[in-house]
Amino acid sequence: MTVLACKGSKNYILGLLLATAMLCMGGCSISHSISSSSDSSASISRSSSGPSVSEEERKAYVQDVATYVDAIGNSGVSAEDFMRGISRIAKKHGITDWEGYKYTYIGIGKGLKAAGIAKDQVSSLACLKVLLSGNSERLKYIEQGY
């Protein structure tokens, strides 16, 4: 911003005040943006590492997922119904990003083992196709659960 005024004039002082106010507002805005960006980064970091739950809560979640998967076994449940069931369990435990939470898959693995489904059949189960599509890490977690 260019202030066209002579030193000592009223316009010069008003111009300086206006320029200072604009710089302050711009600085506050930048500071707010940096803070928001930092908050977003922390949120992304938390979601990728999983929710902040106690060891006891995590074990209870894994057990509930395993019990659900064992109960439906090889019933031919649709992928949508399967995911709805897992979603309800996650919600009950306060887990919002269950699809990105490795313990969901560990629980699935435990449940599949309890249901007597062999490891080599996991990737061919219709109810898991959507979840496993393009994500080999999820399959590793399921196998870890066996």
Phi then psi for 127, rounded to 5 degrees?
-70, -15
Helix, strand or coil, per DSSP, at residue 34: helix
Q: For residue 59, what pLDDT is reported? A: 97
Q: Would you say residue 124 has pLDDT above 90?
A: no
Q: Would you say residue 7 has pLDDT above 50?
A: no
Mind listing the pLDDT tens digit for each residue in 50-60? Answer: 567 789 999 99
Are 121 and 76 in contact by the 8 Å Cβ rule? The answer is no
Phi then psi for 95, rounded to 5 degrees?
-100, 120
Rounded Cα distance, 50 and 45, in Å = 9
Which of 9-18, 37-46, 54-63 is most confident? 54-63
Q: Would you say residue 29 has pLDDT above 70?
A: no
Mind listing the pLDDT tens digit for each residue in 59-111? Answer: 999 999 999 999 998 788 899 999 999 999 999 999 999 999 999 999 999 99
Full-model pTM: 0.65
More confident residue, 51 or 3: 51
Mean residue pLDDT of the chain comes to 75
Q: For residue 51, what pLDDT is reported? A: 60
